[in-house]
Structure 1
């Protein structure tokens, strides 16, 4: 069910979640939740029902003695441990009836997921712009900064997403990474990327090529360099994986070439990767669109 038909409003930019109820008999809603959702501690279900923080299909709060209704749907707002505030702004670069373009800072997740709920770009924009139906057209990694495009009208989102599926969107990134004397630039790197079986990261494997990145040199400072990255494909972590495979991993990357501890509240060493610009022909009116980040990569963080 979409947010437009949800019985609950956004709560500080956070959309409600729902659970479809299976058929069957339980003595109460509490008994069902405790027995069916064992990944959540029983005392948490008890506390949520006591506070009226779980709602029926019409948006009415359920209580500890509410009966189990069988087939139906319940609604709730996700609750996560206190989040570390991300102390960087996320200015809007452009806004019209259908599009919102924001300049995402490092360390801010794009959408709610895992332990990140309110400290996400989507939640911020929904709350600040009062746009409950806002949704992303593409994604950036949490640690990557730069241009992010959102659609404010769910009926038009598919047309914009099709641009990415058809590879008619041009994206330009910048990165600071080690310099390789023996790597002739510009260089086009092609490989097959697949997710590693032991973690969320990607790695190169034998097989049909499914990723391509053009790498250009913008500036060199000693043993470090400022690169322009032009991806032709959009595989997960493509730029980070490609540069790591070339022996020039992006500086301050905790995923590549090896998995390092999460930075937590240390915002002093951002991943030196920036989504500089994105351009496409608007499918709704045929206009050429180009949006550029106003941010820059900080050499002092290298």
Structure 2
């Protein structure tokens, strides 16, 4: 059973959970928090006095509340100053169960890292006043295209299970170098791992757990437009499988080699687009297909 969060979503953001240490020289929660976040001492005292820091039962803590080893506390974090992604979120579909968007490149799906309030989830919660909105699946920040959110908690599991059970047909477009020696269509299978805290995924020896069917849709002799049909949904799967063929996706700063890109540099987007998603709706039984209005193009010849 999922842990009950004792504070509601506020202004599109859920509260942060902080686990108290098992062993600590500090006698109070405040002492521990100040030692961990010394630059935030004044804000932490303010939040405690405003009764905005609570325990797992929702009881407000004070500056004198004792530290209980391995207990959880909850508080609202102050939203950071973030870059504004200057591309609109287009709405593809909205009903009582789901909200489907056409996500632009560079917009994070979920709050993470440098993108918290400026993630698609938080922006949409605020825009539509939907505090319970939750993604049914995810797209990388650098990938554009169709992204499905669930509107209410009571329908969330049914839609998320469609993706977990591979009952969703996803089609992607990608632009990469054209190699006349590669034959298409073809299927790529490999074993992929993505370690927590490590930016890049990698392919390793072993039984395949990732599969993609690839087609070459068109080419101009230098670059090709590829249609990708992932059979599995591993992190960075399409980017790795294209790279494994020696034709990394244009604009990919992770594969084959990582290079840093400034957070406000939108000049060279990853040429990967989630073009469409299809599935049988778990509540109506009706086949549903959602298609992106965005288009990828082959580079113009100089």
Per-residue Cα deviation, 1:108-142 (whole angstroms, up to 9, x for no partner): 00000122101111011111011101111111100
2:46 to 28, 43, 51: 51
Distance in structure 1 (CA, Å) of the matches to 2:209 and 2:218 = 29
**Structure 1 position 131 matched with structure 2 position 126:** no
Distance in structure 2 (CA, Å) of the matches to 1:146 and 1:301 = 22
SS of 1:47's equivalent in the other structure is: helix
**Structure 1 position 14 matched with structure 2 position 10:** no
Asked if the contact 1:268–1:301 (Cα under 8 Å) also holds between the matched residues in 2, the reply is no
SS of 2:174's equivalent in the other structure is: strand
Distance in structure 2 (CA, Å) of the matches to 1:301 and 1:138 = 34
Map 1:253-268 to 2 at 5 A: 253-268=252-267
Asked if the contact 1:3–1:132 (Cα under 8 Å) also holds between the matched residues in 2, the reply is no
Asked if the contact 1:8–1:59 (Cα under 8 Å) also holds between the matched residues in 2, the reply is no
SS of 1:100's equivalent in the other structure is: strand
SS of 2:159's equivalent in the other structure is: helix
Change in Cα spacing, 1:49 to 1:2, as seen in structure 2 (3 Å) is farther
Could you tell me which residue of structure 2 aligns to residue 31 of structure 1?
Answer: 31
Asked if the contact 2:108–2:140 (Cα under 8 Å) also holds between the matched residues in 1, the reply is yes
Asked if the contact 2:15–2:74 (Cα under 8 Å) also holds between the matched residues in 1, the reply is yes
Query: How many Å apart are 1:56 and its aligned residue?
Result: 2.4
Distance in structure 1 (CA, Å) of the matches to 2:248 and 2:20 = 47
Map 1:222-301 to 2 at 5 A: 222-300=221-299
Map 1:109-120 to 2 at 5 A: 109-120=108-119
Change in Cα spacing, 1:211 to 1:69, as seen in structure 2 (3 Å) is closer
Asked if the contact 2:80–2:116 (Cα under 8 Å) also holds between the matched residues in 1, the reply is no
Map 1:70-81 to 2 at 5 A: 70=68, 73-79=72-78, 81=80
Query: How many Å apart are 1:301 and its aligned residue?
Result: 8.7
Distance in structure 2 (CA, Å) of the matches to 1:203 and 1:28 = 43
SS of 1:51's equivalent in the other structure is: helix
Distance in structure 1 (CA, Å) of the matches to 2:288 and 2:3 = 28
SS of 1:190's equivalent in the other structure is: strand
Asked if the contact 1:112–1:120 (Cα under 8 Å) also holds between the matched residues in 2, the reply is yes
Change in Cα spacing, 1:161 to 1:181, as seen in structure 2 (3 Å) is same
Distance in structure 2 (CA, Å) of the matches to 1:108 and 1:254 = 16
Asked if the contact 1:192–1:209 (Cα under 8 Å) also holds between the matched residues in 2, the reply is yes
Asked if the contact 2:184–2:216 (Cα under 8 Å) also holds between the matched residues in 1, the reply is yes
**TM-score, length-scaled by structure 2:** 0.88
User: Any stretches of 5+ residues in structure 1 without a counterpart?
Assistant: none
Name whichever of 238-247 and 210-219 sits farther off.
210-219
Name whichever of 119-128 and 13-22 sits farther off.
13-22
Distance in structure 2 (CA, Å) of the matches to 1:4 and 1:205 = 38
Distance in structure 2 (CA, Å) of the matches to 1:7 and 1:75 = 7
User: Any stretches of 5+ residues in structure 2 without a counterpart?
Assistant: none
Map 1:170-249 to 2 at 5 A: 170-195=169-194, 199-249=198-248
Name whichever of 26-35 and 273-282 sits farther off.
26-35
Change in Cα spacing, 1:301 to 1:160, as seen in structure 2 (3 Å) is farther
Distance in structure 2 (CA, Å) of the matches to 1:285 and 1:236 = 30
